Chains A and B, each alone.
Chain A
Amino acid sequence: MPNRPKARSDQLLVQRTGEETLVYDEQTHRALCLDARATRVWQLCDGTRSEQQIAVAYGEGDTGTAVVSWTLGELEKSGLLEGEGTGAARAALSRRAMIRNVGLAAIPVIMAITAPRARAAVSTCSTVGQECSTRPCCTGLTCNASLICQ
């Protein structure tokens, strides 16, 4: 972890939706969702503030300090900070310990976004080899007796 953490911007697609921030990592093809608290910490990582200064800017006293420290570790693990870090000290603070110290509601959330079950059905038509039982075949293809587009 660098002394002055900086949010990574290279090869990241970032979408704000309400209080959340959605991030797509074009390097790893992982999609993440940061809740409002994690978003706040990530935004404070501008490369000019130290961890302590981030904690001050985040507020909430001792709780804030613990939350910022833990969140920086999570951001780093998720590849959302620039540079290679050494988050060993932070990693030692487990989620369970965090819950005990600051309470579940205060812990920022960074979670992976998974493709919905119906992802294959988002297209209006099926291409070659895909099923045509739930949607029609794309232009120029026909649905065969086995309900496969060809």
Chain B
Amino acid sequence: MLPTLLRDSFRAAPVERAPVPPALLGSAEVSGVEALVRRRLSDAPSETERFQALEQLRRERWLASVFAALGTHGIQAATFKGWALSRLYGRPGLRPVGDVDLLVRREDLGHARAVLAGFEGGAEVDLQADLSRYLPDRSTEQLLAAAERIDVPGGSIRILGPSDHLRLVCLHQLHHGSWRPLWLCDVAVLLEALPADFAWEECLRGSRHLGEGILALVLLARRWLGARPRVEPPASELPDWFERAVQRAWDRGYRPSPERLQGISWARLPGALRARWPDPLSSTLHLDAPFHGVPRLPIQVAELVRRGSRHAFRRWRGRATEVERRGKS
């Protein structure tokens, strides 16, 4: 149902009216697609769209002044997601701007933090010097070098280059299990905003499996949302399991981290396993497993073991540090 309601809604052109179940509207409020879904109810902008349009404008002015200040201090930066995506939607206000993600060099982190401290709202900036969690095969230096300048009233803002941005938006959502419908809409608008000289081989450069994941999302954005890429992507097929996995992630929404286990009993084991069972999307990504040709179950089991052992190692290290601290005192 939600894919049908979101289809074509990210463009400026009016969309066909359709009834929207109240429950679906409620979940759309949480997942960031409320303004898009409400377009099915009325041609006039919704209250949410109006609010978000002003937030987008405010964010643009704020970013312009922040980039001017960072430039004065010789700090190179680039923003991504948030405003950098909302500006690509067909009408201002269709996408919430969310928080601010700013990428700077590691050696500029402290300096940038000090500059941002002088700005109202500076504390809400997610200042980052390393995006390897999402882009393991791109260095900060490469990302900043490929960033592009967007001129806006009152200054200019630098955003990640189109191929890095699309790669990041795709891998970021797979990393989080693609539970947010807004993320697929972001893929759709990015595809339609690609520059004429966009090079898919540059966007897909790196791990072949990550490239498969990106192409799977591109295909899904076309199939579900009607995205029309400005530059045709390489031919590929949607993995059999992929569509069902994203639909399930949308239906389920955000899953909070389960409570810490205080000892394991046989009675609690099924529930504990269910709460920790990893989704196939993030499992495939984290293990750099192929998106095609392999059943998901072994990959999910392997991911469960990986997460479990990492968690156990952190607890063990935490205890060891605690014992060492007590010994010293």
Shortest CB distance B51–A (Å): 5
With a cutoff of 8 Å between Cβ atoms, the chain B residues found around residue A145 in the complex are 259-260
A147 within 8 A of B: yes
Question: Considering the chains assembled together, what is the distance between the CA atoms of A23 and B126 in angstroms?
Answer: 28
B253 lies within 8 A of A134 (CB): yes
Q: A residues within 8 A CB of B93? A: 17
Q: Are A142 and B257 interface neighbours, CB within 8 A?
A: yes
Please, how many angstroms separate the alpha-carbon atoms of A135 and B180 in the complex? 9
**Which residues 85-133 of A have a CB within 8 angstroms of B?**
113-119, 121-125, 127, 132-133
Mask: chain B, 68-105; 1 = CB below 8 Å from A; 0 = not: 00000000000001000000000111001111000000
- Do B34 and A118 have beta carbons less than 8 Å apart? yes
The digit string for B284-321, where 1 denotes a CB below 8 A from any CB of A, is 00000000000000000000000000000000000000
Q: Which of B50, B97, B253 contacts A113 (CB 8 A)?
A: B50
For A52, the chain B residues whose CB sits under 8 A away are none
Please name all residues of chain A whose beta carbon is closer than 8 Å to the beta carbon of B253 when the two chains form the complex: 134
Residues of B with C-beta under 8 A to A22: 50, 53-54, 57
Q: B61 near A: Cβ within 8 Å?
A: yes
Q: Is B58 an interface residue (CB 8 A)?
A: yes
In the assembled complex, the Cα of A147 lies from the Cα of B257 at a distance in Å of: 8
Check A139 against B50 for contact (C-beta < 8 Å). no
What's the Cα separation between A124 and B198 when bound, in Å?
28
Given contacts A124-B99, A143-B256, contact A113 B54 (CB under 8 A): yes
Nearest-Cβ distance from residue A30 to partner chain B, whole angstroms: 10
| Complex contact A24–B29 (CB within 8 A) | no
Q: How far is the CB of A52 from chain B (nearest CB, A)?
A: 32
* C-alpha gap A135/B81 in the complex (Å): 16
Beta-carbon contact of B99 and A138 below 8 Å: yes
Number of chain A residues whose Cβ lies closer than 8 Å to a Cβ of chain B: 33
Contact B176 A18 (CB under 8 A): no
By beta carbon, the residue of chain A nearest B183 is A124
Residue of A nearest to B95 (CB): A122
Given A17-B45, A118-B29, A122-B96, A31 contacting B126 (CB threshold 8 A): no
Whether A18 contacts B58 in the complex (CB less than 8 A), given A31-B51, A117-B29, A145-B259, comes out as no
Chain B residue numbers with a CB within 8 Å of A138 are 99, 126
A139 to chain B, nearest CB (A): 6
Q: Are A116 and B29 in contact (CB under 8 A)?
A: yes
B240 at interface, CB cutoff 8 A:
no
Cβ 8 A contact of A143, one of B48, B49, B81, B257: B257
A116 touches B256 (CB 8 A): no
Q: A127-B124, A135-B254 are in contact. Are A121 and B30 (CB under 8 A)?
A: yes
Chain B 248-278 near chain A by CB (<8 Å), digits 1 or 0:
0000011011011000000000000000000
**CA–CA, A147 and B254, complex, Å:** 12
Does chain B have a CB within 8 A of A57? no
Contact of B81 among A116, A124, A142 (CB under 8 A): A124
- Is B65 part of the contact surface with A, judged by Cβ < 8 Å? no
In the complex, chain A residues whose CB is within 8 Å of the CB of B53: 15, 17, 22
A114, A116, A145 — most chain B CB neighbours (10 Å):
A116
B256 CB contact (under 8 Å) in A31, A117, A124, A147: A147
Residues A20 and B124 in contact, CB atoms below 8 Å apart? no
15 example contacts (A-B, Cβ-Cβ < 8 A) are as follows: A17-B92, A33-B50, A113-B47, A114-B47, A116-B29, A117-B29, A118-B34, A118-B48, A121-B32, A122-B97, A122-B98, A124-B32, A124-B98, A132-B257, A135-B30
New contact pairs (17) apart from A121-B32, A147-B256, CB-CB < 8 Å: A15-B56, A15-B92, A17-B92, A31-B50, A113-B50, A113-B54, A114-B51, A116-B34, A118-B30, A123-B96, A123-B99, A125-B99, A125-B126, A134-B253, A135-B30, A135-B254, A136-B176
Q: Which positions in B face A, CB cutoff 8 Å?
A: 29-32, 34, 45, 47-58, 61, 81, 91-93, 96-99, 124, 126, 128, 176, 180, 253-254, 256-257, 259-260
Chain A residues at the B interface, C-beta cutoff of 8 Å:
13, 15, 17-18, 20, 22, 24, 31, 33, 113-119, 121-125, 127, 132-136, 138-139, 142-143, 145, 147
